[in-house]
């Protein structure tokens, strides 16, 4: 197939969606597909490069700090990429994606879309993520502008597929994990010499409101073992300085960094416990990679997070937003190293359910289905073309 991916920040290293898009591209090309990429690029890395869209200096700075970049759509570039494609896959429900879907309908080229961004990821930047009417309005705006025109949507988790049904999305909702690369494997990792006497607790996630680094800091400060715990925080984001300031209460200052996949692999293999405290998470690739390396996780039971799917025991879950419960679970795992050792291999086995090879099988099936039932005039709000919401969740 000739597959065209349309996504704003494909070459950016600042969020899981971009990482997933690049991995899917690599794997699909290995299977013999031609993958075209329409994205921001002024370095000639893709034939279909676009300029960044500017909203003014201040707004651009805020948007960039949140790990986003927006492309300025160019219809001629999009047309060149779309014409001749067997399928076009749109990643984001913003102006570039909306323009691409509109052109696909005009040019009669099959199109699918993905749902990678929870409205809470947007509203949390202005501390309004608990305002349900605002989040609901964004869901409806996304549907109105893009998702009502495609039958097939890629949902990285069952949680987000269920939520789209509740929001009235009448589409075929394909539950397909973003997957992780088999690069992440369990190995005998040695701690750096200066960390030999420390209990390593890590979290990889953007420094933003909804990721809840504050819960980890409070829990560690409450732990009986706080003098021995060394936190490692990986990521970028607008709240880095705030998190650093908040963590001054700890005996051992957290290590902050933005890491390559090689560095992450090394960190996961000498980490003792991985914590994923996020309130909002459509999937959670970093947790997936951690358990693939045999790290026992502790994950928030937030109703807006899909990451609990990566856990296999109650001790790996804590009450959402409750740092006291997190501290309790953290101390339990520290006090039971033999149980932690026993669960390492079980978590590695569990992670295999989310290998990217399985995800590529499923995305190929979604593309084939979308090509077969493509209708350029489809509108989910039109009664004659209305379909019932259908969650497609194939368990291998």
Instruction: List pLDDT tens digits, range 254-310.
Output: 999 999 999 999 999 999 999 999 999 999 999 999 999 999 999 999 999 999 999
pLDDT for 396 beyond 60: no
Instruction: List pLDDT tens digits, range 122-178.
Output: 887 777 777 889 999 999 999 999 999 999 999 999 999 999 999 999 999 999 999
Beta pairing class for 111-114 and 152-155 = parallel
**If we measure between CA atoms, which residue out of 286, 291, 269, 285 comes closest to residue 351?**
291
Tally Cβ neighbours within 10 Å of residue 186.
17
Is the separation of the CB atoms in 172 and 392 below 8 Å?
A: yes
Mind listing the domains of the chain with CATH numbers?
Answer: 2-179+356-392 (3.40.50.2000), 193-354 (3.40.50.2000)
Per-residue pLDDT at 384: 65
Highest mean pLDDT among 119-123, 278-282, 326-330: 326-330
Is the separation of the CB atoms in 275 and 253 below 8 Å?
A: no
pLDDT mean over 193-202: 95
Percent of the chain scored above 90 by pLDDT? 83
Per-residue pLDDT at 385: 63
Instruction: List pLDDT tens digits, range 167-193.
Output: 999 999 999 999 998 999 999 878 999
Instruction: List pLDDT tens digits, range 333-392.
Output: 999 999 999 999 999 999 999 999 999 999 999 999 999 999 999 998 876 667 888 999
Percent of the chain scored above 70 by pLDDT? 98
pLDDT for 40 beyond 90: yes
Per-residue pLDDT at 365: 97
Tally Cβ neighbours within 10 Å of residue 246.
16
Distance from C-alpha of 116 to C-alpha of 165, rounded to nearest angstrom: 15
Per-residue pLDDT at 190: 84
pLDDT mean over 84-110: 98
Tokens at residue 248, please? Answer: 């001054």
Tally Cβ neighbours within 10 Å of residue 309.
19
Strands (E), 24-143: 34-40, 48-50, 87-90, 111-114
Long-range contacts formed by 308-316: CB under 8 A, 24+ apart: 309/157, 309/158, 309/159, 310/284, 310/350, 310/351, 310/354, 312/343, 312/346, 312/347, 312/350, 313/343, 315/339
Q: Residue 395 — pLDDT band, cuts 50, 70, 90? A: low
Per-residue pLDDT at 252: 97
Is the separation of the CB atoms in 344 and 270 below 8 Å?
A: no
pTM: 0.92
Tokens at residue 136, please? Answer: 């609901």
Buried-state track 44-56, b at ≥16 Cβ within 10 A, e below 16 = eebebbbebbeee
Per-residue pLDDT at 343: 97
Per-residue pLDDT at 201: 98
């Amino acid at each position: 197939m000739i597959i065209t991916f349309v996504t704003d920040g494909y070459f950016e290293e600042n969020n899981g969606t971009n990482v997933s898009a690049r991995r899917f591209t690599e794997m699909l090309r290995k299977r013999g597909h031609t993958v075209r990429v329409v994205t921001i690029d002024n370095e000639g890395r893709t034939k279909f490069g676009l300029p960044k869209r500017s909203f003014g200096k201040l707004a651009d700075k805020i948007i960039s700090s949140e790990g986003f970049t927006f492309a300025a759509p160019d219809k001629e570039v999009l047309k060149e990429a779309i014409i001749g494609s067997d399928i076009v896959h749109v990643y984001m429900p913003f102006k570039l994606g909306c323009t691409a879907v509109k052109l696909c309908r005009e040019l009669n080229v099959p199109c699918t879309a993905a749902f990678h961004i929870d409205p809470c990821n947007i509203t949390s930047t202005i501390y309004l993520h608990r305002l349900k009417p605002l989040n609901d309005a964004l869901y409806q705006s996304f549907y109105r502008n893009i998702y009502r025109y495609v039958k097939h949507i890629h949902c990285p988790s069952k949680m987000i597929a269920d939520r789209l049904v509740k929001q009235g999305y009448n589409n075929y909702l394909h539950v397909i994990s973003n997957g992780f690369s088999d690069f992440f494997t369990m190995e005998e990792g040695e701690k750096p010499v200066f960390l030999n006497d420390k209990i390593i607790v890590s979290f990889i996630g953007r420094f933003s409101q909804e990721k809840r680094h504050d819960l980890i800091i409070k829990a560690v400060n409450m732990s009986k073992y706080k003098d021995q715990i060394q936190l490692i925080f990986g990521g970028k984001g607008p709240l880095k300085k705030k998190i650093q300031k908040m963590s001054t209460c700890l005996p051992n200052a957290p290590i902050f960094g933005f890491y390559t996949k090689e560095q992450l692999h090394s960190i996961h293999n000498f980490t003792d416990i991985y914590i994923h405290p996020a309130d909002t998470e459509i999937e959670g690739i970093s947790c997936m990679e951690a358990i693939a390396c045999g790290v026992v996780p502790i994950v928030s039971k937030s109703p807006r997070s899909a990451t609990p799917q990566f856990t296999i025991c109650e001790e790996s879950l804590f009450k959402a937003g409750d740092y006291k419960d997190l501290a309790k679970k953290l101390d339990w795992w520290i006090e039971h190293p033999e149980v932690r050792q026993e669960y390492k291999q079980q978590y590695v086995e569990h992670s295999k359910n989310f290998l990217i090879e399985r995800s590529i099988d499923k995305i190929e099936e979604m593309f084939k289905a979308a090509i077969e039932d493509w209708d350029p005039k489809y509108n989910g709000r039109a009664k004659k073309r209305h379909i019932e919401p259908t969650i497609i969740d194939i368990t291998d």
